[in-house]
Structure 1
Amino acid sequence: MSNLGKSRRKRKDKWGNRMALIGITFVVFSLAVIVTVKGASLKDKELEYQIREENLTAQRDKELERSKELEEYRIYVQTKQYIEEVAKQKLGLVNPDEILLKPKKKE
């Protein structure tokens, strides 16, 4: 009888070992699938962020160029040439040594 009890225990132990092995295999397989899926989603996010970074870099370059243009315009606005130009266009003023020629009206 003692041999019979030992063989049952061995069968239970073998069955338990197999179930543990199957459980561990399932857990490892599940982790592998999860890591693969998360890795793919991270690659998609990385691509999205690269595109966003390129767009922001291009936008920054445009703004730097615009800033340079505005700085040049600010300097130009402070010149005598600009002041004379605005006086002529908007106020209709002329320099004392200038002669205005007006076209004759057609009758």
Structure 2
Amino acid sequence: MAAKARYKRVNEQNKYGMIMATVAVALLLVVVLIRSMSLVQKRDMYHAKIDTLQTQIEQEEKRKEQIAEFETYTTTRKYIEQVAKEKLGLVYPGEIIFKDKSAGK
């Protein structure tokens, strides 16, 4: 009889231990799932940020090319003449300038 009681007590302790272990594993699984969802959201946010930054890089590369082209253009004689005419009002000797009377109104 004592052996049966002891066996029953050990068996109940084993069941209690198994239940506790199962609960602990389930809690760990829930925590891991929650953290993984959080990490997935962060990953998606970072991918969106990378796409945005990549677009900005492409825009800045285009702007860089435009600036390089403008820099080359500003060293040409055509540009110098254009600025001299438009901003300084200079003309070549013997050149005639016609002004539109309606443009001044």
TM range (shorter): 0.7 to 0.9
The number of residues matched between the two structures is 101
**Structure 2 CA distance for partners of 1:78 and 1:12, relative to 1, 3 Å:** same
Q: Are 2:86 and 1:89 equivalent residues in the alignment?
A: yes
**Structure 2 CA distance for partners of 1:88 and 1:59, relative to 1, 3 Å:** same
Looking at CA atoms only, which structure, 1 or 2, has the larger radius of gyration? 1
CA distance in 1, matches of 2:100, 2:38: 74
Q: Are 2:36 and 1:10 equivalent residues in the alignment?
A: no
TM-score, with structure 1 as normaliser: 0.84
Q: 1:48 aligns with which of 32, 45, 50?
A: 45
Amino acid at match of 1:48: M
Q: Which aligned runs of 4 or more in structure 1 are off by greater than 6 angstroms?
A: none
TM-score, with structure 2 as normaliser: 0.85
RMSD value, Cα: 1.7
Q: Are 2:99 and 1:99 equivalent residues in the alignment?
A: no
Identity %: 35
**Structure 2 CA distance for partners of 1:50 and 1:84, relative to 1, 3 Å:** same
CA distance in 2, matches of 1:33, 1:101: 83
